[in-house]
Structure 1
Amino acid sequence: MSALILVHGGAGTLADDLHDSAVAGAQRAAEAGLARLRAAEASDEPDACVEAAIAAVRVLEDDPSFNSAHGACMTAEGEFEVDAGIMRSRDLATGAIASVRDLADACVVARAVMDHSRHALLVGEGARRFALAQGVGRFGRNLVWTAKAQDRWERVRAGILDGDNRADTVGAVVRDHRGELCALGSTGGVLLKLPGRVGDTPIIGAGFYAHPELGAAVATGVGEALMQRVACHELLRRVAAGQPAQAAAEALCAEIHGSSGAAVGLLAIDPEGRPAIAHASEHMAWAIAGPERAVHAQLSGSLVV
């Protein structure tokens, strides 16, 4: 089985001074995921794809170039609420959290929901209490606040900057040496969102999905538009019906953007290990890596297959 990892740093519009750092961040995330994938394969770990996805997304969550955890968007009230969702193909297990305040590693808590609870989605204070009981989660406003987020919040509120379609969400899809798949997304939400707003990222089928016979996918962009189309499941359904993954991803991004004007992006790996990377937005930082493939990272553009 050919192992593979794809990562993204969000579909939308990036400030000029973030272009280089976003590409570098995506590359570091892919390298971290690949290193974890190799280590898990060497020790024959059963959830190699999950381990690699977490390793990659943790790099992105800690990078202030992106809008997830450290660098998350501020709500209309100037607070931070993060979401994340994860799913693995071998047993369709899933875990997600939403509207959790001041959390710096949302993907780790989402995994804990998947591995250590009987639920699929926990929100708000209940998710925070669960994380503390499990001994996971790094909480604190100082861990998520950045000068970038503060500046953008103030400029949008003042009408100096357009807050629409700003690059959001980070994510990864991974296929390990066993052919098992994992999809994982993490987000700081939409700038100036109402408190309690939840987008596609923690919603099964819309923001993420993984299935042994369909493949795995993660989405990025304006959550309301992606949820309307249950975007990840729709993409994989089209692949199962015979459409090549890359063509299906490009077509679905174009359709959603065309009908809504929303910035959107999709990453996927089909059951045979063929990757797809597409977006309909000004920018999207992404990277691809595998044991038999050199790490490649870039800003914007779709994967050429």
Structure 2
Amino acid sequence: MTSRRRFLQLSTLTGAVGLATSAFAKKPPVQRKPIVISTWEHGIPANAAAWQVLAEGGRAIDAVEQGVRVPEADPEVRTVGFGGYPDRDGNVTLDACIMDENMNCGAVAFLQNIKHPISVARLVMDKTPHVMLVGEGAKKFALEQGFVEENLLTDASKADWQQWLKTQEIKQINIENHDTIGMLALDNQGNLSGACTTSGAAYKMQGRVGDSPIIGSGLYVDNEVGAATATGMGELVIKTVGCHLVVELMRQGASPAEACEEAVQRIARKLGDFKAFQVGFLALNKNGEYGAHCIQPGFNYAVQDKSGTQLIDGKSLL
């Protein structure tokens, strides 16, 4: 029989280990690779492009860049890239970041008139000593790298903006104003990468930057553990450094789904009036397990692996 002293010794040892042996249930690894996951229904065609890279044995970093370029170029996706909703002054401004398995990362913010901010972010990562370029500096760099300046405000988005000017009503939940495509991939070599790109909150104040280009907030990758991306109200994600939080929870033993749920719960506990907003997290761990959680019903995410394509409704707090 274990003595009381031995029991106390074991208890102390368990406490020293910390949350790594917490209440998060441990399950046998699934070992699902390659795999790519991304936020929202427009993640389906994005995943298809990423899958072409992964299926040929390509790197996850190349897959996520090619994947999110699809919605960036699609004028029907009104929250990313070309055709994205403008700010309240009628200017389309874009944010993006990308991160590979070696903690290399690049980002751009408040970028105008360049269709593919994710590829500019990739070049910031590959060709500069910096992590983030913004505004005119980001645009100057893009033009130096051969990108073409073009008008990103489509007639449809311009008409919606002009209609909005009559009421100036801001909606924050899901389809009315969801932003971002965040994508995470695990390649055949077992390496993780992620990308995140957006035109941001519709009719935002000029100069506003959300979580999407901020490493640790809208995206984070740790190749030892997993990766996470976020969507929804960026200010709330920034305040909790949400994606870094999700990855650290996975490091402590949480599954991707458990980590996303705890990150959402933390926002809800601290915010109080969380029912007025939407935030969703999506995560992928080193074994290819994935999960998501959000505040409001309505957030979904796309998954593609060797078994095919799925669109899954994220579990929600409300």
In structure 2, what is the Cα distance between the partners aligned to 1:208 and 1:274? 17
Residue 154 of structure 1 aligns with an amino acid whose one-letter code is Q
Aligned to 1:240: 251
Ranges of 4+ aligned residues in structure 1 off by more than 4 Å: none
In structure 1, what is the Cα distance between the partners aligned to 2:107 and 2:232? 18
Do residues 155 (structure 1) and 173 (structure 2) align? no
8 Å Cα contact 2:179/2:199 also seen in 1: yes
Aligned to 1:65: 77
CA gap of 1:97–1:177, structure 2 versus 1, over 3 A, is same
In structure 2, what is the Cα distance between the partners aligned to 1:301 and 1:225? 18
In structure 2, what is the Cα distance between the partners aligned to 1:160 and 1:124? 25
Aligned to 2:25: none
Aligned to 2:184: 173
Aligned to 2:118: 107
8 Å Cα contact 1:267/1:276 also seen in 2: yes
Aligned to 1:6: 37
CA RMSD of aligned residues (A): 1.9
Residue 200 of structure 1 aligns with an amino acid whose one-letter code is D
Paired residue secondary structure (1:183):
strand
1:74-153 aligned within 5 A: 74-89=86-101, 91-135=102-146, 137-141=147-151, 144-153=152-161
What is the percent sequence identity of the aligned residues?
Answer: 29
Do residues 286 (structure 1) and 301 (structure 2) align? yes
Indicate the structure (1 or 2) with the bigger Cα radius of gyration.
Answer: 2
In structure 1, what is the Cα distance between the partners aligned to 2:277 and 2:171? 12
In structure 2, what is the Cα distance between the partners aligned to 1:192 and 1:247? 33
> 1:251 deviation in Å?
3.0
**TM-score (norm: length of structure 2):** 0.81
8 Å Cα contact 2:78/2:85 also seen in 1: no
* Cα-to-partner distance string for 1:230-257 (whole Å, 9 max, x where unaligned): 0000011111111211122123224425
> 1:184 deviation in Å?
0.6
2:52 aligned to 2, 26, 35, which one?
Answer: 35
**TM-score (norm: length of structure 1):** 0.85
Residue 31 of structure 1 aligns with an amino acid whose one-letter code is A
Aligned to 1:230: 241
8 Å Cα contact 2:229/2:283 also seen in 1: yes
Residue ranges of structure 1 left out of the alignment (5+ in a row): 10-22
In structure 1, what is the Cα distance between the partners aligned to 2:179 and 2:193? 20
In structure 2, what is the Cα distance between the partners aligned to 1:138 and 1:250? 41
